[in-house]
Structure formats: C-alpha cells, structure tokens
A and B are shown apart, each in its own frame.
Chain A
C-alpha cells in the first residue's frame, strides 16, 4: 500500500516537474496592459496625494484650534509668539515665486524632507497626548491618525517621485529621498517642544506640504483643477 502511494507521489512530482504548465509562476496582475486593470496615472497619484495632505492639514488645524480653545483661552486669537520649529532648518520657499522658481526635483525633495522630519515628532505627540488626562480620546485619536497620514503621505510622495522618474520628468539629481533624515523636535534651547508648539509647527508644515504638492501637480499635470 505504501509502495503504491510512493509511486503515485513520485509520479505526481514528476508530472509537475516535467509538465511546463504545472509550474507555478507568478505574473503581475496587470500583465495584460491597461485593459487588465487600472493603473493609476500620474494625475491620479497626484490627486490622491493632495487629498491626503488636505486631510492631514485639516486634522492638524482642528487639533491646534482645540488646543488653543481649551488651553490658551486668554491668548489673542490672531497670533502668538512661538518658539522656533525644529523644521526651520529646512529651506522652504516662502512665496509663490520662490516656490515656482524651484525645480521639480528640489520641490519634491523639500516635501519629502518635511514629511520625514515629522515622522518621530508626530509619534511623540500622540504618545504624550494619549497619556495626558486633559485630552479626550477623540483628540488623541486624531493625533494618531495624523501621524499615520503623514507616514502614508510620505510613501505616496515617494511613489509619485518614482513615477516621475520613470516617466523621465525627474532628473536623477533627487537625492532627498535618501538624505531625508529624521530630526528630533528640539528647539534652540534643546528642550523638547511642548504639545502645543508641536501642533503649531506641524500645522504650518502640513500647509506647506499641501501647497507645494499643488504647485507641483499643476506644473506637471495641469489638466483640471488648475
């Protein structure tokens, strides 16, 4: 009985090996071209990424105003002096002309740098918010979501950059992808920034990212919405 089983097994294995069709191969899902499945175009990728950044910015805006409302009610609603953000080292264009003067690669690089710089601080922010009793769970969830979004956004922008490089839009001078390094959210004095300061800084930086992405998109794929 066992002998016959063995023989059967051997036969099967032989069949599988010999039969070319029996080999399991892997093929990409979209092997058959655009009709096979929908490959997002560059415009689609940009749209997604911009939507992501918009969402991220609105979250940061909400958190910041919540913070202001509950913790700093006495402040002038127009503005307040804050300490320097840890991302101020990154040179970012602060006007339309400046942003338009930048090359695509540099602009992409700036975006990626910013996003990278906020990876750890956002995590820290969420941790500290979750531990504090003052914040309700809703706020700490928002902080968590914000952190995730920043992460996703960074991945998305990297994909966009990759796609652009493939399409030949980007030169190979983009070094920011690898050079972006995580920064510690330390202020000038070396102290850790408070939650409120972090929120303030991130709100600004997310606005920057959103703006830069829009400029990039309308420069590269100016089809609609531009």
Chain B
C-alpha cells in the first residue's frame, strides 16, 4: 500500500517534470510499406512518430502465420533508416507475416498497428537498366528503337518472376506522356515521332502480380530532320502529272482542228451526181430531182409472159418487178463496196440491199443467167465501188468475183447488162420509186411471193440498196416511165404492191396486189392510202394496223438505223415485217390498212 502510493507519486512527479522539460514517450510509429524486389527478400519501412524529445529506438517484431513465436528484425541497416531487411533465409513465401514496430524511449514505448504481409504479393521490382534509345533509319522513315535490360535482381531466367515492361515518351515541352506497353520484350520501336525534336524516354516494369517499378532515368533522343518520304513522293507525282497535263493541253490546242475532225465528223451531204444541193436547200422543187431522173425508165416491155411472179410496179406498162428469188439470176452484181466516200452513211445501203436480194434470189432459185436474160430484165449493177464503203452484202461464196446483176424491176426487154463492179454507176431503183415512176397504167400484177426461205438472213441487205438507191438515180433507165414525178406520183390505177413482209433486216418484201379493190398504193398525197400505224413501240417499232377481216400477222415495223434521218440522207425508215412463223402469209392490207411504203422510202 505504501509502495504503490509511493510509485504513484513518483510517476506523477516525473510526468510533471517531463512535461515541464518537454519530453514524452514516443509517438506511435507507422509501417509505411513492405516491398520485395525479387520475391526472395523483402524490406519493411516505417515512419517514426513523435520521438517525445528523447532518443527513441525502434524495433520491429514479426510473427509468422499460425505461430506464436515472435522474432525481431534481423537487419536494420541494409535498407537504411527506419527499415528492416529480411534476407532470403528469413523470407518465406506464401506465409503471412504479422509485423509490428515498437518505438521506445526513456519514457515509454509505443507499438504500431500490426500489418499482415504475404511476400508473394508485395513484389515491386527494381527499375529496368541500360535504357538506350537509338534512331534507326528505314525506308519509311526514321524511328526510334528503345532497348533496355531487366533489373539485375529479378530472376526471370528460372521462371521465378515474369516481368512486363512499359515505356513512355514525350517531348520536353509536352505535358502528357505517351505510354506504350512492351509486354515481355526488352525493346520497342517508336514510330511517327516529329522530326528535328528531342524526346524523353522512360521505362518501367512489373511482375505479373505485383507493383510497378519506378521509372528509369530519362533517356534523351533527338530525331533527325527529314522530310516524310510519302509526302515527297506525292509531290513528285503531282508535279509530274501536272506537267503531262500541260503538255497534253498544249498538244490538243495545236491540233485542235484534227481533233475536232476526229471527234465530230462532219455530216455528209448527198453525193448524187447531178444533184444540186443548193436547190435542195432553197426548198423542195421538182427541178432538184430532175437531174436524178433516168431517161427511158421504166422500160415498157411486156414481161407478163416471161416472169411468173413479178412485183408489179407500174400499172400501165406491164412491168414487173422481179423480186422473187427465182428470177434473180446469178448475174446479180454483187456489190462489194470497198470504200464509202460518204462517211456519214450508216449501214443503210440500198444498193447493197438490192444486190443482196439479187444474190439471194439467185441462190434460192438457182436460176441461171440464162433464165434471167430470158426475161430481158435489165440488171442493176451495183454501185460503183468507189462510192461505197465496206458494206458487206454478205453474199454467198459463189458471188465472189462474180458480177451480179439485179433483175430489172421493169420488164423491159433489155438485155441484161453486166456491170462490172466499180465500172458502171448503179442503175437500180427503189421499189417504191419504181412504183412511183410507173405511169398510171394498169399492170398485171403478179404476186410475188417472197418466200421466207428464199430470202434467208441476207434479207437484211435489202434495205441497203433501198437506202442508197439515190446514188443511181441518174443512171436509171426508165423506159416509158413517167419520170416527171420522182416524187410521189398519184396513180390510182396503179396496181399496188403490197408489202408482203418485211424482214427484220430492213428488207421490204413487196408483192403486187391483184385485188383491184385495193386502193392503190398511195403516196403521201392521199392520206387514206396510208397504212395506219397502230402504235409505236419503244424500240422504234411501228405497229401497223391490220384489217380485221384478214388474217393478219402482226407487223412489226422496225425502224432502220438510218430511219431517223431526214433527207438528203438517203436512208429512211423501212417497213419490216417480222418473219416469226409466218413465212407464207403476207400482210393483208385492205382498205385503210395499207402500208404506204412510199412514205417510208426516200422520196425524191
């Protein structure tokens, strides 16, 4: 009782004295961190509290997991002040350490809060070493290759630790670093750095489970001054192309005339001998066509008994237009037009058409020259070659080198003439033209059955001579033909040709009408003789109206490619008739259902 009282008084007095002197027991220390650089040793550091004015000593005590034995820190020095270093022997992984620090001074001691540590999870490696940044020149441009080494203490070789690296780059003036992950590599290439600038590079690492190390010291690298290759290449390309464009423009300018000629060929004018363009320009007048009239045409002989099937063109002269394949002899002059003086002409070549028709007829019929001459038909020679362009009549092989003559349209007893190709001017005439020119006298009309098989695919050529017939106008022999009306000559007593069929290849197949009740094939002067166009389809197809009283075939009038052109272009729309499945039937046109081929043919 006395003792305790004495002790109490003593401590009280000591306290008063110490308070007066300003000393106190130490403050509580605090363990700041425990770190292991290589997972084999670790270091714990603490923060001392207030020392109380007296020299204070610190001691670290630890206890292993599930053991009550308390050990004291083996090494206070290695790691520096206020630290405890655990070496390999004292370090056990996957074991919890319970660590406390005790601060002691003369007046007392203080114990820190305990800390649980498992060494496996407190790994923070040292910084990587030997960071080098080198500028490497490449085709695409220079880049910086940064390389480093692992921290010396980390044992990655045995697989004990696996390190992941990271680097960061920035310019001196930049605020933010550019970070790159390098994985487990020990080098990294940095691209797209600005030329002629200095960059700072730092590297750090971390184990797969642990803390990042500190950044290394800054390594400086200077980028060289270079022009980006891509840009310079594009500049060169641009300059080069501009140069080429300039040259091209200048060349075009110099040669502008010929370029113009090439791109926009001039529209050809009519080249009909004796044809006066000026007159035509002034206006339609009959004088214009006067020069085109062939005297003595059509021949006015009686061919009635000579030809079986004729196309009745003139009503009063018994002239028959032979368009039957049988009647075409081999003497049909095949026109091979080597050249076309008139560049504007399309594929429309009436001359060729007629010639080909002649050839077809010749093939189909197999009739020979003799037969032909029997009828005394004049023949049309093909257009002289000089005027023609390579319009391939597509004649059969037998026509090669042979001079073929057209069967004369009019049954004039003229010996057929053989016209050498290129020797004589064309003398053919278009069928409707023949019709027009025939004097209005009745002519026996023989049906000219244009058999489909007689005129195979080469019917397409028919249109050509039709188109180009104008070339031969002035040569045409129109015996006994009323030549005054090169245009449309009204002739009611004419026995009309009816278009039996029009092939898709612009061949007009005509046949004479025997029905006197039929209205004559009118020209454009009589409106009621016209064929009524039922409708025009989109592909320039004229759908002609048929008389319902007859079995008619739908006619498809297909415009030729030369159809749309106005005179003086010789080509005009030709009425075609589709061949599909109706070979023998013709187009029965009665009453107002006439096809006025004259309208469609070039009218002069």
Contact = CB atoms under 8 A, between A and B. Distances in A.
A217 interface: yes
B115 A96 contact: no
Given A76-B115, A207-B94, A54 B160 contact: no
Interface residues of B, number: 29
Interface stretch (B76-84, B116-124, B428-436): B116-124
Interface in A202-226: 204, 207-208, 211, 214-219, 222, 225-226
Contacts of A96: 39-40, 155, 158, 160
A61 B209 CA distance: 10
Contacts, number: 72
A199 to B, nearest CB: 14
Contact of B184 (A80, A217, A218, A225): A225
B50 interface: no
Nearest to A207: B120
A214 B158 CA distance: 8
Contacts of A70: none
Interface stretch (B18-26, B85-93, B193-201): B85-93
A97 B88 contact: yes
A147 B455 CA distance: 91
Interface string A48-81: 0000001001000100000000000000101111
B160 A214 contact: yes
Given A76-B116, A97-B88, A214 B66 contact: no
Interface in A77-98: 78-82, 84, 88, 92, 94-97
Interface string B83-120: 00000100111111010000000000000010111101
Interface string B472-511: 0000000000000000000000000000000000000000
A100 interface: yes
Contact of B160 (A82, A208, A215, A225): A215
Interface string B146-159: 00000000011111
B115 A79 contact: yes
B159 A214 contact: yes
Contact of A95 (B40, B65, B118, B184): B40
Nearest to B97: A79
B132 interface: no
Given A94-B93, A204-B118, A226 B209 contact: no
Nearest to A84: B66
Interface string B435-463: 00000000000000000000000000000
B120 A218 contact: no
Contacts of A78: 34, 115-117
A144 B100 CA distance: 38
Contacts of B94: 92, 94, 204, 207-208
Contact of A79 (B91, B116, B158, B159): B116
A187 B208 CA distance: 30
B96 A76 contact: no
Interface in A177-220: 204, 207-208, 211, 214-219
A217 B159 contact: yes
Given A79-B96, A95-B91, A95-B93, A204 B120 contact: yes
B162 interface: yes
Contacts of A61: 209
A23 B209 CA distance: 57
Contacts of A211: 120, 160
Contact of B98 (A54, A57, A81, A218): A81
B40 A214 contact: no
Nearest to B158: A218
Interface string A131-146: 0000000000000000
Given A95-B93, A208-B94, A79 B118 contact: yes
Nearest to B66: A84
A140 to B, nearest CB: 24
Contact of B157 (A208, A216, A226): A226
Interface in A157-175: none
Contacts of A100: 158
Contact of A214 (B91, B92, B120, B162): B162
A122 B66 CA distance: 24
A60 B137 CA distance: 47
Nearest to A214: B159
15 contacts: A54-B208, A78-B116, A79-B96, A79-B115, A79-B117, A81-B65, A96-B39, A96-B40, A204-B120, A211-B160, A215-B160, A217-B159, A219-B158, A226-B157, A226-B159
Interface of B: 34, 39-40, 65-66, 88, 91-96, 98, 113, 115-118, 120, 155-160, 162, 184, 208-209
Nearest 4 Cβ contacts at the A-B interface:
A79-B116, A218-B159, A214-B159, A94-B92
Given A215-B158, A218-B158, 17 more contacts: A57-B209, A61-B209, A79-B96, A79-B98, A81-B98, A95-B40, A95-B92, A96-B160, A204-B94, A207-B120, A211-B160, A214-B159, A215-B160, A217-B159, A219-B158, A222-B157, A225-B162
